[in-house]
Structure 1
Amino acid sequence: MFTAWLSAFLFTQCVEMPIYARCARTGWGPAFGASALTHPIVWFVMPELLPGNYWVMVAVAEAFAVVAEAVYLRFGFRLERALLWSLLANGASFSIGLLSRHAFGWP
């Protein structure tokens, strides 16, 4: 399970870090920190808290990630802008992750 998480975490970082660091201009450290704070919770905690319907759990987990990363980013942005960047980064990693899983079986 750790290997699967690490693979998904690295994939997420590869998608989200450039969005935060280059587009939102947070710098690479804060860009790494956003997903580093939320990804383990989304991967390990959310399935335990919401063991029923997979897609309900995914929706709650992604909403949590967007809000938590926006709160983390709000120290550099107004909350509305932080929410926008967080939604963009998380939406991109979620969408590209689904496409990659479908096309290549990874992550």
Structure 2
Amino acid sequence: MSTAETLARYCVAFVLTQAIEVPIYRRALGVRPLVAFGASLITHPIVCFVVPAAWRALYVAAIRGDPRFVLGETGYFLGYGVLAEGFAVAVEAAYFWKAGITARRAFGWALAANAASSLLGVALRAATGWP
């Protein structure tokens, strides 16, 4: 995949993420638009560009340690998803907690918003190959 296509896919994914998560955070937490936007502005680049390499390194280390940890394509994807979305939920919940939202509400809505955006992303990828 070319750099231009990677960037285009990232931009589409970022816009879709914001289109889903910002209204959820605005309505559920009552935060200003820029505060809602800031949550995934922090996490999205890391989830898309850092976590895949981190997951790959963890996975390779695990299978070098014990080949029984070899995963199929679906298992590998699910492992990445758990790591990536777990990171996003934790960081976004902490972000909203620092903004004055109770920890329970921040975590619950971060989980809901990230579930909604990641499920949409998976569905679009399955249906169209994008983002």
TM-score between both structures, scaled by the size of structure 2: 0.76
* Match status 1:22 vs 2:24: no
CA distance in 2, matches of 1:82, 1:2: 30
CA distance in 2, matches of 1:50, 1:11: 23
Secondary structure at 1:76 match in 2: coil
Secondary structure at 2:50 match in 1: helix
Extract structure 1 runs of 4+ deviating beyond 4 A: none
1:76-106 Cα shifts (integer Å, max 9, x gaps): 2111110011001001101122222223333
Show structure 2 runs of 5+ residues with no match: 1-5, 60-75
Alignment equivalent of 1:96, drawn from 116, 120, 123:
120
Q: Report which of the two structures shows the higher radius of gyration computed on alpha carbons.
A: 2
* Match status 1:71 vs 2:94: yes
Alignment equivalent of 2:80, drawn from 26, 47, 57:
57
Question: Is the 8 Å Cα contact of residues 22 and 33 (structure 2) preserved in structure 1?
Answer: yes
Show structure 1 runs of 5+ residues with no match: none
**Equivalent residue pairs, number:** 107
Tell me which residue corresponds to 2:45.
40
